[in-house]
């Protein structure tokens, strides 16, 4: 009996071994190599260990702090995405007119590449694009949206919210589907208005999906804006729209400083980890007070 169990266990280990090897080759090894590289400086084909020089150099680099501030500015998108997701989810859950069509339409941007969305919004807000043509029809002067950091960031935020709220809507709809319909019926019989039902029933019962969306959107804002920035502004003007993930690309593959790029990637991982821990702590406190 014991021998049969050992054979089954050995077979199970052998079955998952190929997947573990692929995971180690494609994930673990690059991470370990990046950490080692962050303490090095490359001179052609030779590598020189420089300790913490790459990290200290970034900390004294004013451009790094400017870029990091940009990422925190882009965090404005998180509450906007949550709000848009909540409004659409509630309306579709209430089965407003055409809700089945709108459910599909709202989710479509979530499956489109960020590069395609970035190109769409760049052309839409081009100097001779549809937005300025619309402004001209009202007698307003055209705006060069991508020439200044504030307007360019606003366009990127709009593209980010448009591409992300559909996924959040589906997550919240799944949470609402788990709510007993009799709870809403009892609230209606007690005279609760639509707004009161949303505030006192829906929001408390979908708190966990909302927290999940908050965490993943914060992570997304710090790690996945490269496609938007690359095709819409290339980080310009100057560094006014550059994000940390795009700054890694500039350091490693434009400036050919792989050590600094690797150090910046490690710092980005630590920043995201810290923000995630802070959010978990805040949400844990909120759950404890409920």
Q: How far apart (Å, rounded) are the C-alpha atoms in residues 103 and 22?
A: 37
- Residue 265 clears pLDDT 90, i.e. is over it: yes
If you ran DSSP here, which 8-state letter would residue 236 be given?
A: -
**Could you give the angle at the alpha carbon of 181 between the alpha carbons of 95 and 107, nearest 5°?**
40
Q: What is the DSSP string of 75-139?
A: TTHHHHHHHHHHHHHHHHHTT-TTHHHHHHHHHGGGGS-HHHHHHHHHHHTSTTSHHHHHHHHTT
96 band by pLDDT with thresholds 50, 70 and 90: confident
Residue 268, pLDDT score: 94
Residue 248, pLDDT score: 94
- Residue 70 clears pLDDT 90, i.e. is over it: yes
Domain boundary assignment for the chain: 60-256
- Residue 154 clears pLDDT 90, i.e. is over it: yes
Helix (H, G, I), strand (E, B) or coil at 43: strand
Residue 285, pLDDT score: 67
Q: How far apart (Å, rounded) are the C-alpha atoms in residues 248 and 138?
A: 42
* Structure token digits, residue 109: 């941007």
287 band by pLDDT with thresholds 50, 70 and 90: low
225 band by pLDDT with thresholds 50, 70 and 90: very high
- What's the fold here for domain 60-256? MetI-like fold (1.10.3720)
Whether the CB-CB separation of 106 and 100 falls below 8 Å is answered with no
Q: Once rounded to an integer, what is the mean pLDDT over residues 156-173? A: 93
- Smallest CA-to-CA distance from 220 within 164, 169, 282, 262 is with 164
3-7, 135-139, 154-158, 202-206: lowest mean pLDDT where?
3-7
- Smallest CA-to-CA distance from 239 within 99, 68, 109 is with 68
- Residue 288 clears pLDDT 80, i.e. is over it: no
Write the pLDDT tens digit of every residue in 6-42: 777 777 778 787 888 887 778 888 888 888 999 988 7
Residue 182, pLDDT score: 83
pTM: 0.89
Residue 93, pLDDT score: 85
Whether the CB-CB separation of 127 and 142 falls below 8 Å is answered with yes
Q: Given phi > 0 = left and psi -120 to 50 = alpha, else beta, which region is 139?
A: left
As a whole-number percent, the residues of the chain with pLDDT over 90 amount to 46
Residue 165, pLDDT score: 92
* Structure token digits, residue 63: 């451009």
């Amino acid at each position: 009996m014991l021998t049969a169990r050992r054979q089954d266990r050995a077979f199970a280990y052998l079955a998952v071994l190929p997947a573990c090897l692929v995971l180690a080759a494609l994930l673990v090894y690059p991470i370990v190599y990046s950490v080692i590289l962050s303490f090095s400086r490359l001179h052609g084909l030779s590598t020189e260990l420089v300790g913490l020089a790459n990290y200290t150099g970034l900390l004294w680099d004013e451009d790094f702090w400017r870029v990091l501030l940009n990422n925190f500015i882009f965090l404005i998108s998180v509450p906007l995405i949550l709000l848009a997701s909540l409004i659409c989810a509630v309306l579709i859950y209430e089965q407003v007119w055409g809700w089945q069509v709108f459910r599909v339409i709202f989710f479509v941007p979530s499956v489109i590449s960020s590069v395609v969305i970035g190109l769409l919004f760049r052309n839409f807000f081009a100097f001779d694009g549809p937005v300025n043509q619309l402004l001209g029809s009202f007698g307003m002067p055209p705006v060069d949206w991508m020439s200044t950091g504030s307007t360019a960031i606003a366009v990127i935020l709009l593209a980010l919210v448009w591409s992300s709220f559909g996924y959040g809507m589906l997550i919240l709809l799944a949470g609402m589907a788990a709510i007993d319909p009799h709870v809403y019926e009892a609230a209606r019989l007690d005279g609760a208005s639509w707004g009161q039902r949303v505030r006192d029933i829906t929001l408390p019962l979908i708190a966990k999906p909302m927290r999940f969306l908050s965490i993943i959107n914060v992570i997304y804002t710090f790690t996945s804006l490269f496609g938007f920035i690359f095709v819409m502004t290339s980080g310009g003007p100057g560094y006014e729209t550059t994000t940390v993930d795009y700054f890694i690309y500039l350091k490693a593959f434009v400036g050919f400083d792989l050590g600094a790029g690797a150090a910046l990637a490690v710092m980005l991982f630590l920043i995201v980890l810290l923000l995630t821990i802070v959010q978990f702590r805040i949400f844990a406190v909120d759950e404890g007070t409920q």
